[in-house]
């Protein structure tokens, strides 16, 4: 038994809290700490360093000495002048496989029409960090990938210069061709690939990386490298994996987290068609690993599912969750009546500011638990053979999953071989590798290739939910119409009695103590066993709704134009949103003002609109991105909302692929709208009340509005876009409803208030 089995439920939450911290905040400085042969080794930090070893990750057919045309771990060039680029990150629909390929190809000066992008094997020794979460994929890998491309180009140029006996500075690389103008000599990358692989590895500091103005590929629209395969149904996803001799498994856990198997109808299940085996697993007792349950192994997914439907388990629920979110809602309102004596922050003199303020506003906001619901349910294929455990997994955290599996099954980490498949959506759900751990545990008993496949109902019942929360607010505006005091009592949940649940503490992207001259904050926590975790734009996805809606309330109370009110707020210096030695990913008041102003302009702020229509705006500094959104809508007397247009304006530095950036902005806004309108997870007696999409109304195509995306291109370090487009939407929506009807909404989702779309 490994040490993980001795941990309790709080340990699960500590794990997810640490995971969020790992993936959502950028490193302070991603500059590489490399020595003279720095390309040959990895730095200590996750994702730091660049490997120019002449080998591919383990599992590829080519080996270092046997493949001289392998320029580095990211680039291989064939004699036919095809450039193969290896993308190290998980592709979960965010377009990172295309983006990583473009970044390398840009610095390599490759002809994009001849570039092929393949998924790299999971190998942290070669690639460093290979995860996706917190919109950190591009920022973490930016220097590494650019240097991979530039390093490969430098070696090609050196090879050509040596063969032609000319200075390397006179050799021009462009579109996968090398030319020397003076002599008229030229050749393809493919012709020089073998010689290039024998050239000295260049010093990282010697590489001349391109300026933004020199980009020929980045910033333009490019179709996804796998788009054709996706739309023609070619096998890319974890759910597609097929192997000779494969068997199929399901795993049934207690619907209330913490329950254990007492007994089950084993004899009945063994008699069912196609069933090969059925057995109970004690598990490790952690939701992020393996909870107690019953595994069924069959000769097809269909037969495994039919047997699962017939499974009858008697659960010991003496230590299981009894959570009730209905009771929590009522308890939170009771707690909100009193501001705690112990504060998280107390700046200035809040009471004095309230006493003298001409405008004081109080409000109570709440928001629901939310499920991830990626289109592809959780699955993993695992195979024990030849002393190794080989796995095919649609995960956002392959490195972490590999380590966890190795510890659980007692293998050296090198003996757990993980193949990263494409993920059919993630939104943070696949940061957890519980399904991977379950497959490993089942494979130990089966010893044949086994695919663990969850049903949709399993995804709902055993998610790591975005936690709900409650905010009691009080604010004051001074005689000059500026925000002067902010008091906030945040009521959230705790798994261990001391720390907030994962995704349930204050957002790190909001200026809590410098929001106003006078600030007071406090937190109260209620017990919760239901697992929680990061959901697209962790914390920001709900707290920006509260922040921007209450800001709007204060602006209205003081008769101020909301855009001008926001510009006054963001003009304040915000030192708490600075990362040491990371000036290019910090909050920047000029960038904040820029997105707010452009969003207002594109939305037609200030123009007259017909009765019953409204325009709302909100902004956020989220995961390194400065972003503002506006919603134009109409509301009828039956509370039916028609959203006419959504404007998204973002400053995330230089855009890598404009097509993907537009998709992320559109998808984030739609996700935000869907969540704000109708997504609501209920839990009673520890059991999730929703089981499928019929009771969890994700926005339908008929209700999807036009989304217009605009980008302020800049020379700041690029940041991700998977998270930032979600948080401002709900606030902009609520503010637009007030503009249209004069009714203030303080609850999310709006279906709780009777609104439809």
CA distance 529 to 222: 45
Listed residue (235, 233, 275, 239) closest to 451, CA to CA = 239
Domain assignment present for 239: no
Q: Show the domain range for 646.
A: 339-371+465-753
Task: Pick the more confident residue, 703 or 581.
Answer: 703
Co-location of 365 and 429 in the same domain:
no
Average pLDDT score over the chain = 90
Lowest average pLDDT, out of 71-75, 690-694, 695-699, goes to 71-75
Average pLDDT of 330-343?
A: 98
Q: Per-residue pLDDT averaged across 42-64, rounded?
A: 29
Residue 31, pLDDT > 80, answer no
Among 453, 483, 515, give the residue marking a domain's end.
Answer: 453
CB 432 within 8 A of CB 374: no
Q: Is the peptide bond before 479 cis (omega within 30 degrees of 0)?
A: no
Q: Does residue 263 share a domain with residue 382?
A: yes
Q: Is the pLDDT of residue 248 over 70?
A: yes
Lowest mean pLDDT among 64-68, 148-152, 301-305, 668-672: 64-68
Rounded distance between C-alpha atoms, residue 664 and residue 622, angstroms? 14
Flag the least confident range among 201-215, 410-424, 587-601, 624-638.
201-215
* Assigned token pair, 650: 């973002």
Q: Per the domain annotation, does 460 fall within a domain?
A: no
In the chain, what percentage of residues exceed pLDDT 70? 90
Tokens of 60: 């590829």
- Measured over the CA atoms of residue 93, residue 99, residue 105 and residue 111, the dihedral's sign is positive
Residues in the chain: 757
- Sign of the dihedral through C-alpha 64, 68, 72, 76: negative
CB contact at 8 A, 475 and 357: no
Do residues 77 and 58 lie in contact, with contact meaning Cβ atoms separated by under 8 Å? no
Task: Kindly report the three-state secondary structure assignment for every residue of 691-756.
Answer: CCHHHCCCCCHHHCCEEEEEECCCCCCCCCCCCCCCHHHHHHHHHHHHHHHCCCCCEECHHHHCCE
Indicate whether 345 belongs to any domain: yes
Looking at the structure, tell me whether residues 211 and 293 fall in a common domain. no
Segment 368-382 mean pLDDT:
98
pTM for the model: 0.91
Half-sphere exposure at residue 386, Cβ-oriented, CA atoms within 13 angstroms: 3
User: What does the alpha-carbon distance between residue 743 and residue 730 come to, in Å, rounded to a whole number?
Assistant: 15
Q: Which residues contact 583 (CB under 8 A, 6 or more apart)?
A: none
Is 630 a member of any domain? Answer: yes
Of 714 and 674, the one with more pLDDT? 674
φ/ψ of residue 614, rounded to 5 = -150, 160
Q: What is the pLDDT of residues 402-446, one digit of tens each?
A: 999 999 999 999 999 999 999 999 999 999 999 999 999 999 999
User: Is it the case that residue 38 has pLDDT exceeding 50?
Assistant: no
Domain stops at, among 166, 200, 231: 231
Q: What is the pLDDT of residue 205?
A: 86
The answer to whether position 248 is within a domain reads yes
CA-based Rg of the chain, rounded to a whole angstrom? Answer: 27
Say whether both 186 and 300 belong to one domain. no
Average pLDDT over residues 470-487: 97
Contacts of 129 (CB under 8 A, 6+ apart): 46, 47, 140, 141, 399
Confidence at residue 218, expressed as pLDDT on a 0 to 100 scale:
98
Q: How confident is the model at residue 201 (pLDDT cuts 50, 70, 90)?
A: confident
Question: Per the structure, how many domains does the chain have?
Answer: 3
Q: Judge contact between 494 and 528, C-beta under 8 A.
A: yes
Are β-strands 625-635 and 613-622 bridged in parallel, bridged antiparallel, or unpaired? antiparallel
Same-domain status, 97 and 183? yes
CA distance 331 to 426: 32
Residue 14: band (very low, low, confident or very high) from pLDDT cuts 50, 70, 90:
low
Burial letters 646-677, b for 16+ CB under 10 A, else e: bbbbbbbbbbbbbbbbbbbbbbbbbbbbbbbb
Please say which residue of 181, 204, 231 terminates a domain: 231
Q: What is the pLDDT of residues 531-586, one digit of tens each?
A: 999 999 999 999 999 999 999 999 999 999 999 999 999 998 888 887 655 556 89
Alpha-carbon torsion, ordered 48, 50, 56, 59, to 10 deg: -10
State the Cα–Cα distance between residues 494 and 341, nearest whole angstrom. 19
663 shares a domain with 515: yes
- Do residue 158 and residue 123 come from a single domain? yes
d(CA 52, CA 155): 11
* Residue 453 dihedral angles phi and psi, to the nearest 5°: -125, 120
- Identify the CA nearest to 58 among candidates 12, 126, 110: 126
What value does the mean pLDDT take over residues 113-122? 95
| Residue 500: partners with Cβ closer than 8 Å, 6 or more residues away | 17, 492, 493, 494, 523, 525
Residue 326 within a domain: no
Residue 329 lies in a domain: no
Question: How many H helices and E strands in the chain?
Answer: 18, 30
The stretch 512-517 carries a mean pLDDT of 92
| Strand stretches in 265-331, DSSP E | 275-281, 293-298, 313-316
**Using CA of residue 70, residue 74, residue 80, residue 81, what is the dihedral sign?**
negative
Residues 394 and 251 in one domain: yes
Contact 325, 468 (CB under 8 A): yes
Cα 272 to Cα 439: distance, rounded to the nearest angstrom = 22
- Domain match, 724 and 671 both: yes
pLDDT at 59 over 90: no
Answer whether residue 356 is part of any domain: yes
Q: What CATH number has the domain bearing residue 270?
A: 3.30.365.10
CB 446 within 8 A of CB 277: yes
Please state the φ and ψ torsions of residue 352, each to the nearest 5 degrees.
Answer: -65, -40
Domain co-membership, 91 together with 113: yes
Same domain, 315 and 294: yes
Q: Are residues 182 and 255 in the same domain?
A: no
Mind giving me the DSSP string for 611-675?
TTEEEEEEEEEETTEEEEEEEEEEE-TT-BEEEEEEEEEEE-SS-S-HHHHHHHHHHHHHHHHHH
Q: Could you report the per-residue pLDDT of 264-293, keeping only the tens digit for each?
A: 999 999 999 999 999 999 999 999 999 999
């Amino acid at each position: 038994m490994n040490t993980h089995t001795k941990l309790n439920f709080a340990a699960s939450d500590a794990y997810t809290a640490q995971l969020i911290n790992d993936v959502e905040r950028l490193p302070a400085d991603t500059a590489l700490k490399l020595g003279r042969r720095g390309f040959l080794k990895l730095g200590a930090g996750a994702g730091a360093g660049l490997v120019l070893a002449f080998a591919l990750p383990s599992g590829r057919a080519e080996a270092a000495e046997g493949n001289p045309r392998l320029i580095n771990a990211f680039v291989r060039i064939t004699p036919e002048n095809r450039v193969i680029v290896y993308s190290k990150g998980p592709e979960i629909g965010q377009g990172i496989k295309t983006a990583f390929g473009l970044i390398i190809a840009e610095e390599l000066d490759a002809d994009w029409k001849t570039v092929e992008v393949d998924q790299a094997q999971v190998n942290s020794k070669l690639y460093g960090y290979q995860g996706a979460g917190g919109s950190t994929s591009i920022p973490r890998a930016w220097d590494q990938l650019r240097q991979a491309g530039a390093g490969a180009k430098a070696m090609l140029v050196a090879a050509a210069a040596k063969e032609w006996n000319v200075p390397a500075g006179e050799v021009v690389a462009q579109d996968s061709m090398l030319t020397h103008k003076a002599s008229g000599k030229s050749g393809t990358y493919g012709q020089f690939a073998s010689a290039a692989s024998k050239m000295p590895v260049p010093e990282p500091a010697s590489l001349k990386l391109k300026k933004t103005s020199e980009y020929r590929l980045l910033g333009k629209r490019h179709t996804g490298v796998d788009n054709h395969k996706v739309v023609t149904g070619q096998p890319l996803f974890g759910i597609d994996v097929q192997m000779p001799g494969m068997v199929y498994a399901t795993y049934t856990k207690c619907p209330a987290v913490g329950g254990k198997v007492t007994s089950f109808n084993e004899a009945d299940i063994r008699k069912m068609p196609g069933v090969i085996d059925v057995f109970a697993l004690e598990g490790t007792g952690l939701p992020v690993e393996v909870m107690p349950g019953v595994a069924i192994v069959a000769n097809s997914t269909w037969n495994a599912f039919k047997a699962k439907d017939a499974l009858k388990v008697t659960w010991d629920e003496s230590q299981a969750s009894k959570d009730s979110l209905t009771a929590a809602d009522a308890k939170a309102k009771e707690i909100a009546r009193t501001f705690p004596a112990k504060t998280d922050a107390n700046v200035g003199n809040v009471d004095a500011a309230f006493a003298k303020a001409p405008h004081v506003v109080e409000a109570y906001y709440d928001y629901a638990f939310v499920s991830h619901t990626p289109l592809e349910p959780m699955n993993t294929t695992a195979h024990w053979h030849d002393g190794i455990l080989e796995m095919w997994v649609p995960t956002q955290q392959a490195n972490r999953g590999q380590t966890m599996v190795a510890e659980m099954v007692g293998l050296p980490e090198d003996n757990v071989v993980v193949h990263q498949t494409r993920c059919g959506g993630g939104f943070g759900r696949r940061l957890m590798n519980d399904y991977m751990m379950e497959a490993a545990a089942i494979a130990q008993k089966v010893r044949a290739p086994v695919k663990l496949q969850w049903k949709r109902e399993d995804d709902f019942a055993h998610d790591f939910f975005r936690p709900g929360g409650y905010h009691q607010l009080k604010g004051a505006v001074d005689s000059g119409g500026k925000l002067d005091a902010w008091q906030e009592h945040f009521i959230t949940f705790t798994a261990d009695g001391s720390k907030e649940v994962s995704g349930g503490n204050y957002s790190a992207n909001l200026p809590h103590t410098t929001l106003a001259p006078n600030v007071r904050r406090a937190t109260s926590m209620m017990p919760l066993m239901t697992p929680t975790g990061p959901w697209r734009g962790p914390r920001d996805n709900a707290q920006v709704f509260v922040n921007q809606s209450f800001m709007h309330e204060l602006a209205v109370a003081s008769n101020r134009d909301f855009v001008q009110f926001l510009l006054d707020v963001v003009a304040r210096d915000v030192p708490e949103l600075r990362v040491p030695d990371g000036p290019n990913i910090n909050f920047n008041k000029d960038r904040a003002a820029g997105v707010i102003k452009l969003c207002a302009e594109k939305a037609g702020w200030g123009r007259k609109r017909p009765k019953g229509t409204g325009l709302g705006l909100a902004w956020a500094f989220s995961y390194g991105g400065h972003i503002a959104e506006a919603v134009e809508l109409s509301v009828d007397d039956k509370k039916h909302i028609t959203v006419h247009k959504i404007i998204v304006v973002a400053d995330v530095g230089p855009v890598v692929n404009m097509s993907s950036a537009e998709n992320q902005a559109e998808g984030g806004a739609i996700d935000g709208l869907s969540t704000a309108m109708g997504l609501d997870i209920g839990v009673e007696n520890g059991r999730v009340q929703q089981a499928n999409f019929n009771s969890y109304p994700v926005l339908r195509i008929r209700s999807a509005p036009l989304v217009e995306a605009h980008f302020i291109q800049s020379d700041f370090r690029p940041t991700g876009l998977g998270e930032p487009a979600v948080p401002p939407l709900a606030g902009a929506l609520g503010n637009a409803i007030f503009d249209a009807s004069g009714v203030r909404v303080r609850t999310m989702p709006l279906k709780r208030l009777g609104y439809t779309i």
